[in-house]
Amino acid sequence: MTNQWGGFDFIGSTMGNSPIAGVDAALGATQAPNILQRAVVTEVLSDLSLYSEEVLREIKDNLSNPEFNGGGVFTCPRNTILVRIITGGQDKRDGKETLCYPFFPPHLCFPVKAGEQVWLITENPQTVGGPGYWMCRIPEPNYVDDLNYTHGDRKNVRQPILSTSEKVSPEPGDIPNFPNGRETQETFTLSDPLAYEEIVESSISYNVDFTPEPVPRFTKRCPDLVLQGSNNTLICLGEDRGWVNSADAASAESSNATKGEGESRGQQGTIDIVAGRGRRMSAGAPVAPADRDAPENTAPAIIANTRGYLEVDKNPVINIGGIDSNRQFDPTEGDPNFESDASRVYVSMNTSGDDNFGLTYENADAKAPVGDKAYVILKSDEIRIVSREGGSIRFVKEGENQCEVSMLSNGNLAIDAPKVFLGEHPDGPETEPVMMGAKLEAALHAYADGVSSTITGLIGNLGAPLIANAAIAGPTAAFKAAVTEALSQTTFTK
């Protein structure tokens, strides 16, 4: 159960505004723990090689479950976390940390950082010493939840709950902070007033592994399966979608997750693998975000927090002012954008890939943009395809008119096609043939020898063989030498 102030757990709370706070406080020390409990992460044990035996013993001495699974912290798997349980005000009573293995096996590892809040689960509610497993970070309201870093207690002090006619103006202090509860003694989530800052300052994983930065949120369609990281990476198993022009996204009133009237709804299954959604661009080059940047195309609004780093402005009602609601602000934030997203591999069973990515072809023999076909498209600022020593790379178009470009294992480059175009004629669509140097050299030599033989024969019949030799042999030899030299300058060499 939650209250109007944005998510306090009445049953699990010892705050003064809880109607059953006194009962909860009286029972807290004796009642069996809930199957699911809420906790604040104090450390993530990812790289276990960073911790000496002495440090691990210090950690163990402050655990509520030091012998969990027999070995405790000394035998824990990667992605184990240390937490302070806050359900029922437990942290206020004992201040102990609890060791929690990941609930899911290593085939699926969820991101979490020190200071964030997670769900814990126990195999047996009667187990002494704590739950022992963590499931995932807890989702929070839309003005709090952040892919990069979520401080759950913000929901307690920065609510954008307004009447339909009420709008606010930002105040100097309206920047995202990291409160402890509602920042009063009786409402603290953790027992120490500065507990959250102490956690992030002492956490090795937070200070070594975590990169704070703004990451746009993603609007999925209801049937999509989506996997996102904390630093603007995403894999969506869904359907064909994406803005072709950033200008269209900037003026849209809803996300492109919403299908337009008459839009095809079948045979468009698509896997979209993308890094760097919502880039800010200027003259075709990416621009780094800055404090108080407004939304741009599919890029989010940006704001600096009290820890000095940038994040997505998730609460513009409070931070910007004059906004009707957070949910209707910048609806295209983080949408797939074929024009400006940094790097993408787009695999679709049916799409208009040429049109989506703005691909046009000037060659007279090239077809018009192809629509409604299966596509695999790669787009980025720089693309490399690398074959190891002894390997090869081949680009093959199958069918009756097969053609291919092959980088062979012996280092040779082979282009095999009925017709090969290398660039365009400067004055129009006319094509120019490409010479086969050795054959052209042989043909020109044969032509020169034929001309020489004919003229020599004619002059010889006139009884002047010496004139024929002087007039023809020298120029013929010079011509053949010039041809050989000229063609040698057009061959491909290292």
* Dihedral over alpha carbons 448, 452, 458, 461 (to 10 degrees): -150
pLDDT band at 24 (very low <50, low <70, confident <90, very high): very low
In tens, the pLDDT along 166-175 reads 677 766 667 8
Provide mean pLDDT across the span 95-114: 95
Kindly tell me if the per-residue pLDDT of 465 is higher than 70: no
* Four-residue CA torsion sign, 23, 181, 195, 55: positive
Question: 18 with 8: CB under 8 angstroms?
Answer: yes
Provide mean pLDDT across the span 82-111: 93
Provide mean pLDDT across the span 152-158: 89
Within a domain: 178: yes
What local confidence, expressed as pLDDT, does residue 162 receive? 63
Q: How far apart are CA 313 and CA 213, in angstroms?
A: 12
| Continuous segment of H or E residues that includes residue 311 | strand 310-312
Enumerate residues 6+ apart whose C-beta is below 8 A from 470: none
What local confidence, expressed as pLDDT, does residue 485 receive? 79
* Four-residue CA torsion sign, 219, 220, 222, 227: negative
| Continuous segment of H or E residues that includes residue 42 | strand 36-45
**More confident site: 207 or 364:** 207
pLDDT band at 455 (very low <50, low <70, confident <90, very high): confident
Q: Percent of the chain having pLDDT more than 90? A: 58
Exposed, middle or buried, 272 (CB in 10 Å: 0-12/13-18/19+)?
buried
3-state secondary structure (DSSP) of residue 432: coil
Residue that finishes a domain, picked among 208, 226, 250: 208
What local confidence, expressed as pLDDT, does residue 166 receive? 66
Within a domain: 479: yes
What local confidence, expressed as pLDDT, does residue 425 receive? 57
What local confidence, expressed as pLDDT, does residue 104 receive? 96
Within a domain: 326: no
Q: How far apart are CA 448 and CA 246, in angstroms?
A: 62
Q: Percent of the chain having pLDDT more than 70? A: 83
Reference 140, options 121, 158, 167, 120; nearest CA is: 158
pLDDT band at 489 (very low <50, low <70, confident <90, very high): low
What local confidence, expressed as pLDDT, does residue 152 receive? 97
What phi and psi, each to the nearest 5 degrees, are found at residue 449? Answer: -65, -35
Kindly tell me if the per-residue pLDDT of 423 is higher than 80: no
Within a domain: 345: no
Question: 109 with 79: CB under 8 angstroms?
Answer: yes
- Cα-only R_g, the chain: 35
**More confident site: 273 or 284:** 273
**More confident site: 377 or 489:** 377
Residue that finishes a domain, picked among 208, 243, 266: 208
Within a domain: 146: yes
Within a domain: 5: no
Q: Can you tell me which residue has the tokens 């820890």?
A: 307
Exposed, middle or buried, 82 (CB in 10 Å: 0-12/13-18/19+)?
buried
Structural domain count of the chain: 2
In tens, the pLDDT along 388-405 reads 999 999 999 999 989 999
Q: How far apart are CA 10 and CA 151, in angstroms?
A: 20
Within a domain: 295: no
**More confident site: 166 or 417:** 417
Q: Which domain range does residue 195 map to?
A: 21-208
Kindly tell me if the per-residue pLDDT of 22 is higher than 70: no
Kindly tell me if the per-residue pLDDT of 469 is higher than 70: no
* Per-chain mean pLDDT for the chain: 85
Enumerate residues 6+ apart whose C-beta is below 8 A from 15: 8, 21, 181, 182, 186, 187
Within a domain: 391: no
Question: 435 with 486: CB under 8 angstroms?
Answer: no
Q: How far apart are CA 131 and CA 122, in angstroms?
A: 4
> In this structure, what token pair is assigned to residue 46?
């990812």
Q: How far apart are CA 146 and CA 213, in angstroms?
A: 10
Residue that finishes a domain, picked among 152, 186, 208: 208
Question: 87 with 39: CB under 8 angstroms?
Answer: yes
In tens, the pLDDT along 178-197 reads 999 998 888 999 999 999 99
Kindly tell me if the per-residue pLDDT of 447 is higher than 90: no
